[in-house]
Amino acid sequence: MRLPALLLAAALACSSPTSAGLPGTPGPPEGRAVLFIGNSLTYANDLPAMFERIAGAAGTPVRVDEATGGNMAVIDHMVAGSRAIARMDEGGWTYVVLQQGPTPAGICRDTLVLAAMRAGPHIRNGGGRPVLWLPWARRGFPASLAVAGESATLAARAVGGVVAPVGIAWDEALEQDPSLPLYGGDGYHPAPAGTLLAALTIYDRLFGEDVREIPAGALARIPAGGLTEVQAARLAEAAHAASAGIPADPSTPAPADTTVVSPLGGGPC
């Protein structure tokens, strides 16, 4: 594992309370449903559909939907113009994944925590649990991974949510095989293989099912840029390592003090 991810995992272990059992709170085998809220990191390559295919390959079908928009931070989904609140209020979601970008300290982190706390009651009232997406670092800026991890973890703890360590999985995968085609042409958005890795990581973390047990042939048949079975197996290994490598997520919310504004940082979020 690369140093930034190792430091991040250590920070999470030291700074966050843990709880017994699996990382997430798995729903029943039948009736699983996941709502994805975010921006182009989610709708690029249709991550929800890829997540659904992974569940099918694992033999545990899941219902998915999304509320996404270009360049939207999570706080943008909490105001008019997004269908996110209406979708959350429909209920029936096992998990609701809140996806944001690098989220540096300052206004981006503050508003992510605030947005998670606003979304929390909508999610909980419908019987679900919030999930905070820990994003990968932009190519060439590895130090941002630890910062993004702190932001996602603070927001998750504020609402008793789950951290989905997608960025740690990317770091792990590229450490093992730098040739894996995870990044798109802009060095930030995911290529299809990157979306597959994100979906594998979220699936493993939320449902506590080791994605390494999904046949590599089945994963390789999921449209993800023509991966070989060996490459697909490496993605599954990285996803599981990231999921298993950070502490369990406490389900009891520890609301943050939203009256205090950070003096540092700006965007983009």
261 lies in some domain: no
Q: What is the model's pTM? A: 0.90
253 lies in some domain: no
185 lies in some domain: yes
Domain containing 189 equals 3-16+31-244
188 lies in some domain: yes
259 lies in some domain: no
252 lies in some domain: no
Find the range with the poorest average confidence among 1-5, 134-138, 192-196, 247-251. Answer: 1-5
* Orientation of helix 192-207 relative to helix 47-58, angle to 10°: 60
249 lies in some domain: no
Number of domains in the chain: 1
| pLDDT on residue 18 | 37
CATH number at residue 60: 3.40.50.1110
Looking at per-residue pLDDT, the higher value among 81 and 170 belongs to 170
Mean pLDDT of 125-129: 95
Res 30 pLDDT > 80:
no
162 lies in some domain: yes
| pLDDT on residue 208 | 96
Mean pLDDT of 178-195: 97
Looking at per-residue pLDDT, the higher value among 154 and 23 belongs to 154
Identify the band that residue 192 occupies on the pLDDT scale cut at 50, 70 and 90. very high
